Amino acid sequence: MKRTCTLLIALLLVGVVQAAEVYRTTDPKGQPIYTDRPDRLPAEKLDIASRSTDVVEVKSRYDAEMKRYAREEETDGSAVTEAQDARKARALTAEDKAKRCIDARQKYESLMNARRIYERGETDEDRRYLDSDEIDAARETARKSMEELCAGL
């Protein structure tokens, strides 16, 4: 935005400047003064080449710069959006992993504290109780699952 304003002001100033003769005089302290209307004579006329501003060329350059700035802002905006999306995805993944770890830990603790463990059948009334080998296998599976899910936390 700052570049845009600077460019606009420069273009306006260039458009206002008209071709004129430039003179050099000195003030009473000896400092040089450059002007197009000298206050006193003798004034030294400087040989400075000037030309009038081509309004069409200035407008086309201005439009080209504005298009370039718009492309840069669009590119910067999409990069910022992608970075924000990636950050959100990492945060969701971290939250999801923490929730899964908590769930796995609770399941492991419930299996370790339970005396009798069962599997559900097709209905709520259908239950099949596990024998001691199956209970040990279920506890080992839950422990491995918990360690795997809680490894990075």
Return the pLDDT at 1: 58
Summarize the chain as % helix, strand, coil (round to 5): 60, 10, 30
Examine the pLDDT at 102 and tell me if it is beyond 80: yes
Entry pTM: 0.41
- For the beta carbon of residue 108, count every other beta carbon within 10 angstroms: 21
- For the beta carbon of residue 76, count every other beta carbon within 10 angstroms: 10
Find the mean pLDDT for residues 42-51: 75
Return the pLDDT at 127: 86
Beta-strand pair 127-129/118-120: antiparallel
Examine the pLDDT at 148 and tell me if it is beyond 80: yes
Examine the pLDDT at 64 and tell me if it is beyond 90: yes
Examine the pLDDT at 37 and tell me if it is beyond 90: no
Task: Report the length, in residues, of the chain.
Answer: 153
Return the pLDDT at 70: 87
Examine the pLDDT at 98 and tell me if it is beyond 70: yes
Q: Which residue has the higher pLDDT, 10 or 111?
A: 111
Find the mean pLDDT for residues 115-132: 85
Return the pLDDT at 44: 77
Q: Which residue has the higher pLDDT, 106 or 21?
A: 106
What's the mean per-residue pLDDT of the chain?
80
Return the pLDDT at 97: 84
Full 3-state SS string of 51-96: CCCCHHHHHHHHHHHHHHHHHHHHHHHHHHHHHHHHHHHHHHHHHH
